[in-house]
Amino acid sequence: MADRNASTTTTLPATLIPPSDAIAWLWKDAPLPAFSRATVAVVDRHVWLAGDKVLVRPGARPRGLPPGTRVIPVVHVEIDQLHPPAGLRAARPAILAALDGAARASTSGWVQLDLEARPSQREDYRALVAQIRARLPRDMRFSVTALAWWCRAPAWLDGLAADEVVPMFFRMGRDNAPLRAIVAERPGVLHPLCRAGSAGFSRQEAFAPAVAARYRRTYWFDERRWKDSR
């Protein structure tokens, strides 16, 4: 989510603020926006995969969060574009350990995995999600982000062992225009997990308010790291 490659975007005014019951994704030195003081999703660990290399580094949890703010720790897994691993099995121990740490850090009862697996890694991804869910405490809820095009490919999402799937309806690459049209005008063709439960939006690429209003829970990304949202 935070380190995704840039693509053509539909830019909306930077003053656009999500609804008060939304959740901000925070990373690096981003300040906490006022609308997300109840619950915030914070990158807790970065896992970088390149060939057979696995590098783990801590996230930079924002300082000065209000005492009552519930934190959803996020494990962000980045796959090197030039040297992607063939699969995810070699990285599984590092990712599992990162999720263990995220569970210990959670004050919301939730953890989230942000991993943009490639088509060749789909079976490894689904197996990893199942293993994480089985490993987490029963009272810990498990959220995963999903690329928007997965919402048109049931093999990614059918029976996925997660408590929440968050399709990311922004930075959708070369399919941006047709996918935006589907999300806005023909949501019935999306996978059921992408229609009403949870969804991720960008402050710079937001849809009409009615689109976000379909979802019980929304997450929000900001290219400017919320620096002008207070």
pLDDT in tens, 147-169: 999 999 999 999 999 999 999 99
pLDDT at 174: 87
Q: Give me the mean pLDDT over the 187-199 stretch.
A: 95
Q: Which domain holds residue 92?
A: 23-221
pLDDT in tens, 37-94: 999 999 999 999 999 999 999 887 666 789 899 999 999 999 999 999 999 999 999 9
Residue 229 lies in a domain: no
Q: In angstroms, rounded to a whole number, what is the distance separating the alpha carbons of residues 40 and 25?
A: 7
Residue located via tokens 């994480």: 132
**Which H helix or E strand runs over 134?**
helix 122-135
Instruction: Label residue 9 by pLDDT band (50, 70, 90).
Output: very low
**What percent of the chain has pLDDT above 90?**
77
Residue located via tokens 């006022």: 34
Residue 226 lies in a domain: no
Q: CA angle, 166 as apex, 222 and 189 as ends, to 5°? A: 115
What are the strands, taking DSSP E only, across 51-197?
53-58, 70-79, 110-115, 141-147, 164-168
pLDDT at 30: 84
Residue 197 lies in a domain: yes
What is the domain-level CATH number for residue 143? Answer: 3.20.20.80
Residue 10 lies in a domain: no
How many domains, the chain? 1
Residue 59 lies in a domain: yes
Residue 171 lies in a domain: yes
Entry field: residues in the chain:
230
Q: In angstroms, rounded to a whole number, what is the distance separating the alpha carbons of residues 128 and 130?
A: 5
